[in-house]
């Protein structure tokens, strides 16, 4: 493997694939690096779709909907830019081959998601994320972009406030390696997965890139804003996409009564469901009036998921749901060009805070952000003519001894116990509703868990494809993120969007 690249992108979700594809011009060497198989990111699970507006009037409404949904905790210019570029993002995706659902006349089909004044979400049945990822992956292969799979980001190489590369654990060999690059792009996803057992995210969505940014002195912003999606299946927490409500699905309580306008923004709908559950009600998604044919045409995946994981036929039965941690609005602070404060180091997609989503993300805006800012950052990388060479840095030896330490120490506690305790603390004290005392307890308990973590290590000392060390490293990052999240939540005294403060 050539370990000097023009651009390395850390993450192979929709943000990373977009940036990689755009950065690959001429003979530029571009690598997309991921801790899993390149095609198995969180992005593949996106169902509902991607937002866009076509003309000036509808773009104005789109901008206003996004600002309103963020509760004004946003950069209006960044939002305007994203919305203005939205339709060209759809045509770009369409041109590279994404099979969007179309109407009989060949025009794009759209649906209306919560918090939106119009029907502006473009989709590919309810497989939107998967179809985009697979199409982009094929295009990247054709463009000769290198994919480095099973490389776990450990650290950055920074000299004089300029990025020079990054340090990874090669998961297949447990060796620590350095990769140099003139541009480094964080596209490493969000952190809602740290709410283990109460999240729609995959278990490895642990905010690794955000934690590495923090360890390297970068600023994190809006960390307290975690979106709880209204409709996850009770038990499995698998998401039932907003397309269910967009297609006319109702939310009813145990008395079969509707209690909220289902197409309000997610923060309001989740709060209403939370209040019902607090009153002892069960809450159900009612799709019975929609009919098998419509369900099967626009939500085949959701029908299948409900059948497989809850044994419920949504066309004829009620499906019990509850809110679950779904999306992290906060992250690595960047400007509207995806730039961090380290030269040639960027952050895009869910790991970044571009100040688009603020206190509550609008459904369909995450994929759009990934594509629009992925293109912006990819272009900046493509035009950077500086060449990086090998540099002296003590980061390699530091990370090697950190990994050696993990293999040589003896465990004092089973680290999975720490992981379970962390998710219980987050769900109890830093969930939908938070209060001052609870947040103080959470921070104290997280600090104690951090001490336990620092003492312990893994039991499985096998060097090679050892997934236990990955889980262990992810837990280290989760603890850092949890502390940031709870600390930011304590500082934010008011209720705003997804952050609901109670005076208990
Ligand atoms: C079930 C579900 C449905 C959704 N539906 C929609 C929708 O319809 N519309 C919408 O707009 N949004 C939706 N979202 C949100 C959206 O899917 C995500 O916000 C978006 O896909 C994130 O993309 P990303 O490229 O930033 O990161 P991800 O897709 O999360 O990719 C992260 C990448 O980083 C890599 N990585 C992470 N840590 C490391 C590390 N330490 N070392 C190396 N690599 C690392 C991973 O391997 C992965 O390749 C949904 C989310 C979920 C969970």
CB atoms under 10 Å from CB of 116, counted, come to 25
- Could you tell me which residues come within 8 angstroms of residue 227 by beta carbon, excluding any fewer than 6 positions away? 192, 266, 267, 325, 326, 327, 328, 329, 357, 360, 361, 498
Cα–Cα distances in Å, from 68 out to 358, 424, 440?
10, 32, 30
Q: In which residue are the tokens 């559950």 written? A: 277
Taken in order 305, 311, 316, 322, the sign of the CA dihedral is negative
For ligand 1, the distance from its centroid to the CA atom of residue 204, given in whole angstroms, is: 10
For ligand 1, the distance from its centroid to the CA atom of residue 190, given in whole angstroms, is: 7
Task: Kindly state if the Cβ of 361 falls inside 6 Å of ligand 1.
Answer: no
DSSP letter assigned to residue 431? S
For ligand 1, the distance from its centroid to the CA atom of residue 254, given in whole angstroms, is: 34
For ligand 1, the distance from its centroid to the CA atom of residue 129, given in whole angstroms, is: 9
Closest ligand 1 atom to Cα of 351: 26
What does the DSSP assignment read for 180-205? EEEEEEE----SGGGSTTSBSS-TT-
* pTM: predicted TM-score of the whole model, two decimal places: 0.97
- Which residues lie across from 108 on neighbouring strands? 102
Kind of pairing between the strands at 175-186 and 345-347: parallel
Q: Which of 46, 351, 352 to mutate to test ligand 1, by most ligand atoms within 8 A of the CB atom? A: 46
Contact predicate 113/242, CB 8 Å? yes
Q: Which of 12, 43, 368 to mutate to test ligand 1, by most ligand atoms within 8 A of the CB atom? A: 43
Which among 322, 364, 361, 331 is positioned nearest to 349, based on CA atoms? 331
Cα–Cα distances in Å, from 310 out to 231, 239, 240, 314, 464?
13, 12, 12, 10, 37
Contact predicate 31/24, CB 8 Å? no
Residue 228's pLDDT is what? 97
Give the rounded distance of the alpha carbon of 281 from its chain centre. 30
Cα angle 421-422-426, degrees, rounded to a multiple of 5: 120
Q: Which of 89, 309, 330, 367 to mutate to test ligand 1, by most ligand atoms within 8 A of the CB atom? A: 367
Closest ligand 1 atom to Cα of 188: 34
Task: Kindly state if the Cβ of 350 falls inside 6 Å of ligand 1.
Answer: yes
Task: Kindly state if the Cβ of 12 falls inside 6 Å of ligand 1.
Answer: yes
| Whole-number Å distance between alpha carbons of 153 and 214 | 13
Closest C-alpha to ligand 1, atom 27: 189
CB atoms under 10 Å from CB of 105, counted, come to 5
Per-residue pLDDT of the chain (504 residues; tens, 9 = 90+): 558 999 999 999 999 999 999 999 999 999 999 999 999 999 999 988 999 999 999 999 999 999 999 999 999 999 999 999 999 999 999 999 999 999 999 999 999 988 898 999 999 988 999 999 999 999 999 999 999 999 999 999 999 999 999 999 999 999 999 999 999 999 999 999 999 999 999 999 999 999 999 999 999 999 999 999 999 999 999 999 888 998 899 999 999 999 999 999 999 999 999 999 999 999 999 999 999 998 988 888 889 999 999 999 999 999 999 999 999 999 999 999 999 999 999 999 999 999 999 999 999 999 999 999 999 999 999 999 999 888 999 999 999 999 999 999 999 999 999 999 999 999 999 999 999 999 999 999 999 999 999 999 999 999 989 999 999 999 999 999 999 999 999 999 999 999 999 976
For ligand 1, the distance from its centroid to the CA atom of residue 205, given in whole angstroms, is: 8
DSSP letter assigned to residue 246? H
| Whole-number Å distance between alpha carbons of 227 and 67 | 16
Q: For 303-430, where are the E strands, in sequence order?
A: 319-328, 331-333, 345-347, 352-353
Task: Kindly state if the Cβ of 344 falls inside 6 Å of ligand 1.
Answer: no
Task: Kindly state if the Cβ of 366 falls inside 6 Å of ligand 1.
Answer: yes
Tokens representing 451?
């001490």
Residue 1's pLDDT is what? 55
**Dihedral-angle region of residue 222 (phi above 0 means left; psi in -120 to 50 means alpha; beta otherwise):** left
Q: Which of 10, 18, 37, 41 to mutate to test ligand 1, by most ligand atoms within 8 A of the CB atom? A: 41
| Whole-number Å distance between alpha carbons of 246 and 262 | 8
Residue 98's pLDDT is what? 98
First to last CA, the chain: 57
Closest C-alpha to ligand 1, atom 5: 46
For ligand 1, the distance from its centroid to the CA atom of residue 135, given in whole angstroms, is: 16
**Ordered strands of the 331-333 beta sheet:** 220-221, 331-333, 352-353
For ligand 1, the distance from its centroid to the CA atom of residue 350, given in whole angstroms, is: 7
Domains annotated for the chain, with CATH where assigned, are: 231-324 (3.90.700.10), 395-502 (1.20.58.100)
- Could you tell me what percentage of the chain is helix, strand and coil, using 3-state DSSP and rounding each to the nearest 5? 40, 20, 40
């Amino acid at each position: 493997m050539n370990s000097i690249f023009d651009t390395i992108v850390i993450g192979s979700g929709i943000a990373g694939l977009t940036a990689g594809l755009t950065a690959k011009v001429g003979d530029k060497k571009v690598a997309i690096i991921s801790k899993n198989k390149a095609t198995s990111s969180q992005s593949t699970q996106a169902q509902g779709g991607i937002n866009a507006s076509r003309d000036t009037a509808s773009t104005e409404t789109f901008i206003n909907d996004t600002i309103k949904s963020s509760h004004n905790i946003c950069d209006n210019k960044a939002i305007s830019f994203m919305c203005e570029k939205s339709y060209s993002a759809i045509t770009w995706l369409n041109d590279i081959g994404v099979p969007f659902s179309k109407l009989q006349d060949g025009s794009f089909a759209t649906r209306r998601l919560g918090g939106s004044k119009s029907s502006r979400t473009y989709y590919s049945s309810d497989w939107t994320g998967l179809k985009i990822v697979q199409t982009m992956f094929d295009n990247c292969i054709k463009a000769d972009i290198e994919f480095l799979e099973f490389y776990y980001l450990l650290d950055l190489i920074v000299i004089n406030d300029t990025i020079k590369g990054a340090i990874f654990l090669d998961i297949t060999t447990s060796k620590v390696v350095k990769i140099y690059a003139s541009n480094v792009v964080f596209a490493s996803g969000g952190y809602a997965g740290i709410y283990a057992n109460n999240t729609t995210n995959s278990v490895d969505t642990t905010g690794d890139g955000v934690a590495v940014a923090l360890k390297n002195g970068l600023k994190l912003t809006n960390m307290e804003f975690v979106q709880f999606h209204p409709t996850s299946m009770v038990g499995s927490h698998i998401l039932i996409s907003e397309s269910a409500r967009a297609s006319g699905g109702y939310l009813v309580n145990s008395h079969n009564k509707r209690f909220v306008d289902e197409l309000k923004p997610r923060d309001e709908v989740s709060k209403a469901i939370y209040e019902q559950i607090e009153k002892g009600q069960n809450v159900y998604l009612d799709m019975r009036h929609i009919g098998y044919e419509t369900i099967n045409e626009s939500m085949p995946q959701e029908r299948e998921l409900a059948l497989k994981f809850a044994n419920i036929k949504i066309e004829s039965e009620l499906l019990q749901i509850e809110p679950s941690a779904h999306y992290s609005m906060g992250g690595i602070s960047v400007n509207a060009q995806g730039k961090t404060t380290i030269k040639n180091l960027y952050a895009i997609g869910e790991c970044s805070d571009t100040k688009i989503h603020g206190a509550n993300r609008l459904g369909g805006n995450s994929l759009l952000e990934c594509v629009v800012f992925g293109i912006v950052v990819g272009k900046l990388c493509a035009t950077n003519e500086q060449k990086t060479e090998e540099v002296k840095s003590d980061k390699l030896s530091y990370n090697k001894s950190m990994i050696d330490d993990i293999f040589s120490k003896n465990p004092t506690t089973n680290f999975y116990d720490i992981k379970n305790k962390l998710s219980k603390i987050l769900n109890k004290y830093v969930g939908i509703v938070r209060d001052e005392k609870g947040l103080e307890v959470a921070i104290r308990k997280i600090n104690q868990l951090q001490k336990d973590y620092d003492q312990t290590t893994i039991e499985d000392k096998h060097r090679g494809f050892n997934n236990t060390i990955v889980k262990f490293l992810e837990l280290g990052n989760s603890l850092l993120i949890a502390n940031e999240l709870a600390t930011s939540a304590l500082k934010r005294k008011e209720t705003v969007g997804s952050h609901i403060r109670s005076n208990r």
